[in-house]
Each structure stands twice: as structure tokens, then as C-alpha cells.
Amino acid sequence: MKKGDDQMANLEPVYNSEIICPVCEKKIKVAKVRSKFVKLKKQDDDFCPHYESVNPVLYEAWVCSHCGYAAHSTVFDNITPNGRKAILERITSNWTSRDFTGERNYEQALEAFKIVLYNLQVREAPYSEFAKICLRIAWLYRYMNMPEEEERFLKYSYDYYKKVYTRESSKNSDLDEFTIMYIIGVLAKKLNMIKDAVFWFSRLVSFSADPAERSRIKPIILQNAREQIYQLRMEMKNEDNPGDDNKSEN
Ligand SMILES: [Zn+2]
């Protein structure tokens, strides 16, 4: 939305953009990152991105300063009438105005994401939204080098993604069912649940035996799942036979 952009800040990586809050219907400002400043350095196997400088993940949680409605930027307008009612009754009535515009540090981003998480609870949102937000919170703790908190939110995300896979259609999610299986496998691995990780990667690979299913799986996801299984089996073998690497048959 060009019209509401701050006029004087053309060269800044982070700028405020004006939108209408779908809950209180007031004009609000949300912080956005100009894409030309976004330079990806690397990505972890759970898709956590690391950037050269400005990190757009910090700005993905949008919060309305007037009513306390908060959501991931990609689904900010997707509020149901019941969700809106729940927010007005249970969040807006207790809300003290807080400003999340402009540049954010990790703590401010974390606070915004936790307000989103609380909104999801109040709205009884789909598991896919919880899974995604818990994974983002885990990444924030990773950036902040707080491994215990990171693990706690990786576990929440793992549990929610399993619920998305078993109980919820993946049409609710911005990820297809195979990518969800892959993420469950990666999260299990990160949580040191190695057999569980092998199970989910193997399940994904087994779908590829069916040509009709195989065409629906992203090649990179299938390749990564195969590599993960290979690595994990090697690790399990080495743990069974410590110091026996030289005799390994593979
Ligand atoms: Zn609002």
C-alpha cells in the first residue's frame, strides 16, 4: 500500500505502512521490510532463515495498537466473524495500547509473536497457525541463543504439526502435506527423537513409490528426506558400534 507509506523514509530497510485493522476497523500502521534489503545468508533444515542484515522474520507478527488483534502478516485479514467477536470480548476489553511500528529488536519481535499466539488461543485458531507461530518463536529464541526456550517451542510446533497432519486438512496450511511430514521429521530430529524422525522421513519417501503421489512431492523435499534418513541411520549405526567406524559396511 503505497499511499500510507512514510514519505521521508524511502531509503530505510524498515518502513511503516498503513492498513485497516479487520477487527476494530481503525487505520493502523504496521512495520514492513523493503525486499531489496533482504539478503539470505543460509537456512537451517527446519527452514529457519539467517540474513546478512535486516531479518524480515522479526516483522511477520502484526499487532493492532488499538484493539490488540494480532496475526501473522500473511493471514492478517483472514479473521472469521466468531474470531473477531472473541477478540473484541476477551482481548480488546483488557488491552493497553502498545506500539510495534518501526524497527524491532528480538525482544520486541518475541513480544509481538507471543501476542499473536495468545490471539490464536482466544480465537481457537487452526492447528496449522499455532504450528507456524510456535516455530517462528523457536527461531527467535535460536537467534537469541536461548536453547532451552527454543526447544520448548520446537516441541509445541512438532506437536501441532502432527495434529495438522493427522486431524486437519493441509488446505488450512500454506504447506503441502509432504512438506509438513518433512518438517515433523526435522523437528523430531532436533528434539533428539531419532526413531520418530526416521519414521516421518521414511513415510514421506514411501509415498514417492506411487507415481501419482510422487508428482505432488517437491523434488528438493524428497531428496532432503532421503539424505536425512541416510545420515540418521549412519548415526544410529555408530551409536550401536562406537569406535567401529572402519568396519562399517557402508
Ligand atoms: Zn484493531
User: From CA 67, how far away is CA 71, in angstroms rounded?
Assistant: 12
Measured in Å, residue 28 CA sits from the centre of ligand 1 at 8
For residue 213, tell me if it sits in a domain: no
Give the mean pLDDT of 158-178.
Answer: 85
Which residues neighbour ligand 1 (ion) by CB within 5 Å? 21, 23-24, 64, 66-67, 69
When divided into structural domains, the chain yields a total of 1
Provide the pLDDT confidence category of residue 36 given band limits of 50, 70 and 90. Answer: very high
In terms of C-beta density within 10 A (0-12 exposed, 13-18 middle, 19 or more buried), how is residue 26 classed? exposed
For residue 242, tell me if it sits in a domain: no
| Segment among 7-11, 29-33, 68-72 with least mean pLDDT | 7-11
**Residues near 187 by beta carbon (within 8 Å), at least 6 away in sequence:** 46, 135, 154, 155, 157, 158, 161
Measured in Å, residue 88 CA sits from the centre of ligand 1 at 9
C-alpha cell at 227: 539424505
Range of the domain at 43: 1-144
For residue 22, tell me if it sits in a domain: yes
CB distance 208 to 214 below 8 Å: yes
Q: Report pLDDT for 238.
A: 84
Distance between alpha carbon 137 and the CA centroid of its chain, in Å? 8
For residue 50, tell me if it sits in a domain: yes
Task: Dump pLDDT digits (tens) for 49-72.
Answer: 999 999 999 999 999 999 999 999
User: From CA 232, how far away is CA 194, in angstroms rounded?
Assistant: 7
Provide the pLDDT confidence category of residue 236 given band limits of 50, 70 and 90. Answer: confident
Measured in Å, residue 108 CA sits from the centre of ligand 1 at 19
Give the mean pLDDT of 33-55.
Answer: 95
For residue 126, tell me if it sits in a domain: yes
CB distance 51 to 40 below 8 Å: yes
Task: Dump pLDDT digits (tens) for 90-128.
Answer: 999 999 999 999 999 999 999 999 999 999 999 999 999
For residue 79, tell me if it sits in a domain: yes
For residue 164, tell me if it sits in a domain: no
* Helix or strand holding residue 244 (H, E): none
Measured in Å, residue 15 CA sits from the centre of ligand 1 at 20
